[in-house]
Structure 1
Amino acid sequence: MEPKPIQVEVIGKKIILKMPKNDADVKFVLTLRYSKWNKDGYFWEIPHYPGNLERIQQHFGERLGPVIRHETIPTESYEQSRKVDKNQVLVIKTHSGRIKLIFGYNATLTKTIKSIPYYQYDLKNKWWTIPYSEQFLEEVKRKIGELGLVMVFEEEKKNTEVVAKVSPYDIPNYRKCPEEYVHKLEERRYSEGTIKAYVPLFEEFINYFSKSTMEDLGEKEVMEFSRYLVMERKVSSSFQNQAIDAIKFYFEKVKGEERKYYHVDRPIRGKTLPAVLSEEEVIKILRVTKNLKHIAILMTIYSAGLRIGELINLKIKDIDSNRMQIRVEQAKGKKDRYTILSQRTLEILRRYIKENRPFEYLFEGQGSTKEIPLRYSTTSISAILSKAVKDAGIAKNVTVHTLRHSFATHLLERGTDLRYIQSLLGHESPKTTQIYTHITTKGFDQIISPMDGLDI
């Protein structure tokens, strides 16, 4: 009796493989990325990536029966398939921090949307998006009511069908990022954070094409990988953009090729509004924080508008109590700047330094010595703030960067000129600072840290 031929069916983006158990064949199937055994159907599921079907045909040869291909019907997105009545406005809160609005032509409502900062119109899908905030949502809701329309509000359903990132255990002969790539990043003085982001992104790219040599990778592979990130991995726009930047760095800086535009669907970054604490919420956070060092850390970040990386790099010498300024060296963009030193923060810092006696860095980690001073960890700072936010009973999604946004917003509310806020934050472009809205007219010497206005 002849053995039953091995069956292969192609269904959209999946390859279904039915075969008798054989150690050599199983070993081969496991080399195909993201292949998995379906114990209910007794078959293997393999992604229909370019080259996978050809590799299966080559491996099984004459043992393979005819490949069965099933026709698939293209599916529309949920919003595209929805029918919106002419008197309805579909308002969807997305996971990316924006509000999507779908409605028939209405000049008045369109004008309202255009008055909101960072609005966008998607020409392909025929919908508007704006940054999510309770204020903007209420503004849109009010206008819809005034126009006699009906608002249908929904929250975007989370897509759980996401392909996980490939790990060194998923494929044989996993390739590490070339040393020359890391050395070039260091040579060009990229920040530690950028290096930590670029290296795993480039590793994912080269291992996605594990059967290809580095010399064979080019524009076609960049385009294919970009589509994979969007369609299979379901990554965010910012993640996709950073992945492309990491790949471009290899071709342009490491290999020395000319700067090139890769014709991929590189997404527009949807603008979102940062979460901001009220002054009352900042007071609550500081009041529930009892440890002197922890209070000093949170006060310094908020009162000077620092990034978390700037805070851990501060040295004792950077605190200028005579000019009431803090020097921030080699911040984002490799630029130095000065920001303000709050009188209250200075008093807390003096108490903290007297008690903790740091050697070089203003805030040092465990095991720090005079010979080898160690910076405080960013994860510890995040943990300090998370505990304080929880203890204060604040439900907002608060990160360390929220304190920086709150600093800028509170300065603006107290009448500080936006141009000086730009200088204090170290923004290269005024457009970045305009998210905090209006421009007023006060000089640098008139700026008082919002910390000094808090009743604590």
Structure 2
Amino acid sequence: MSIDFSNYKFVSGEHKNKKVIWILFDYKKYSIDPLRNIISVKYSNTQKSWYVPDLNRNRQSIGLEIIEFQNANNLTKEHKIEFDRYIQTLKLKSYSPNTLKTYANEFIAFLQMFTQYNPQEITTDLIRRYLVYCAQDLELSEFTINSRMNAIKFYYEQVLHLNRMFFDIPRPKKPNLLPKVLSVNEVRQIINLTTNLKHQMILKSIYGMGLRVSEAVNLKIEDLDSDTMLVHIKGAKGKKDRIVILPETLLLELREYYVVYKPKEYLFENRFGNQMSTRSIQMIFKNGLELSKSRKKVGVHSLRHSFATHLLESGTDVILIQQLLGHNSIKTTLTYTHVSRKSIQKIQSPLDRL
């Protein structure tokens, strides 16, 4: 049974010294009964609200991410007001849940260093000294410091609408890491050793179409067009749509899968008929990787990297690969030329010619 989760709001909290997820909704319009069918709910007479224990299995059943903010309750009254404005602005600008959570936690860390200041009175010099402290004393990674800079800039530029801020310290250089890629044989092994039909179709779809895991869970039946053999990926990273190929072999297998599982809306639904979680798909890949006895430390995103690399090795134009992956810059796609094994293997070392 499909449930419209937009009718309910899930908030993490505590009840009787235990972590719980409160379920808030309009009692006049909606009922708790739809949720009873998928999860064991409880009622608090003291709080006059329904809740469930905050456990991983309950989060997966709900199918929604509960956004938590680290130490938000420790903020001063003034800071809480600004923090609420910060969150509202992020939501109004339709930032993704992951970005919202990251920016919020970075902003909290920033506010907690200036408890004696009103956030609007923190000077550029103080911000600069704080960032130097993060780099030199806390020894935060390049990614974390860049993220913290962006979170601070968002507050002053987007919430307070001040001029664009420039910090007179160099942005830490991000490490130039190559994408982790599997060989064709390794991909084949992981897929073949995943015997559950639904799980196998998920892995084949990610590899066969070069999807991000978030795109796989958001894929709807209506997005697949068997006449044109194309798939419409909607609202992907950066809120962009794109078109990808639908492999012929995958279409035939998906038809068999459809007869067995009968998904209603999303192509891949959990046993309660709701959208699958990204965590579930990550575990499916991890299990397949362990069965293959591979020593590589890779995640499910390596299937997307492998899709691009294997296309490049087969002679596909890099511009087309860029379009299929949805990259803004060709430079991002060109990264795969550095991990293409066939092009490297063709090179003869000068040592061999001595």
The TM-score with structure 1 as length reference comes to 0.56
Alignment partner, residue 434 of structure 1: 334
Counterpart check, 1:282 vs 2:187: yes
Deviations 1:355-385 (A, max 9, x none): 12222111123433xxxxx321111111111
- 1:217 partner amino acid: I
Query: Structure 1 residues 169 and 436, CA, compared in 2 at 3 Å: closer, same or farther?
Result: closer
Among candidates 404, 412, 417, match of residue 304 of structure 2: 404
RMSD of aligned Cα (Å): 2.1
Among candidates 354, 376, 394, match of residue 276 of structure 2: 376
- 2:302 partner amino acid: T
Alignment partner, residue 86 of structure 1: none
Counterpart check, 1:317 vs 2:222: yes
Alignment partner, residue 168 of structure 1: 71
Alignment partner, residue 236 of structure 2: 331
SS in 2 for 1:326: strand
Structure 2 residue ranges without an equivalent (≥5): 1-68, 339-354
Deviation at 1:170, TM superposition (A): 11
The separation in 2 between residues aligned to 1:236 and 1:200, in whole angstroms, is 16
* Residues 233-272 of structure 1 aligned to structure 2 (within 5 Å): 233-272=138-177
Q: Is the contact between residue 72 and residue 108 of structure 2 (CA under 8 Å) also seen in structure 1?
A: no
Counterpart check, 1:222 vs 2:127: yes
The separation in 2 between residues aligned to 1:346 and 1:221, in whole angstroms, is 58
Deviation at 1:226, TM superposition (A): 1.6
Alignment partner, residue 17 of structure 1: none
SS in 1 for 2:234: strand
SS in 1 for 2:311: helix
- 2:224 partner amino acid: I
Deviations 1:1-36 (A, max 9, x none): xxxxxxxxxxxxxxxxxxxxxxxxxxxxxxxxxxxx
Counterpart check, 1:301 vs 2:206: yes
- 1:194 partner amino acid: T
- 2:325 partner amino acid: L
Alignment partner, residue 391 of structure 1: 291
Deviation at 1:249, TM superposition (A): 0.5
Identity of aligned residues (%): 40
Counterpart check, 1:231 vs 2:131: no
- 1:168 partner amino acid: N
Greater helix share, structure number: 2
Deviation at 1:270, TM superposition (A): 2.2
Alignment partner, residue 315 of structure 2: 415
Query: Structure 1 residues 181 and 351, CA, compared in 2 at 3 Å: closer, same or farther?
Result: same
Q: Is the contact between residue 75 and residue 112 of structure 2 (CA under 8 Å) also seen in structure 1?
A: no
Counterpart check, 1:348 vs 2:248: no
Deviation at 1:421, TM superposition (A): 0.2
* Residues 68-83 of structure 1 aligned to structure 2 (within 5 Å): none
Deviation at 1:203, TM superposition (A): 1.1
SS in 2 for 1:327: strand
Deviations 1:397-435 (A, max 9, x none): 111211111000000111100010000000111111111
- 2:71 partner amino acid: P
Deviation at 1:173, TM superposition (A): 5.2
Greater strand share, structure number: 1
- 1:267 partner amino acid: P
The separation in 1 between residues aligned to 2:119 and 2:295, in whole angstroms, is 48
The separation in 2 between residues aligned to 1:247 and 1:399, in whole angstroms, is 31
Deviations 1:292-336 (A, max 9, x none): 111111111011001111111111101111111111011122211
- 2:268 partner amino acid: F
The separation in 2 between residues aligned to 1:290 and 1:338, in whole angstroms, is 29
SS in 2 for 1:215: helix
Equivalenced residue count is 268
The separation in 2 between residues aligned to 1:295 and 1:289, in whole angstroms, is 6
- 1:347 partner amino acid: L
The separation in 2 between residues aligned to 1:402 and 1:168, in whole angstroms, is 34
Relative contact order: is structure 1 or structure 2 higher (C-alpha 8 Å, sep ≥ 6)?
2
Alignment partner, residue 99 of structure 2: 194
- 1:390 partner amino acid: E
The separation in 1 between residues aligned to 2:334 and 2:236, in whole angstroms, is 20
Deviation at 1:344, TM superposition (A): 1.9
Deviation at 1:212, TM superposition (A): 2.0
- 2:262 partner amino acid: R
Deviation at 1:245, TM superposition (A): 0.6
SS in 2 for 1:262: coil
Alignment partner, residue 270 of structure 2: 365
The separation in 2 between residues aligned to 1:350 and 1:419, in whole angstroms, is 31
The separation in 1 between residues aligned to 2:302 and 2:217, in whole angstroms, is 17
Alignment partner, residue 324 of structure 2: 424
Deviation at 1:341, TM superposition (A): 0.8
Q: Which entry has the higher C-alpha Rg, 1 or 2?
A: 1
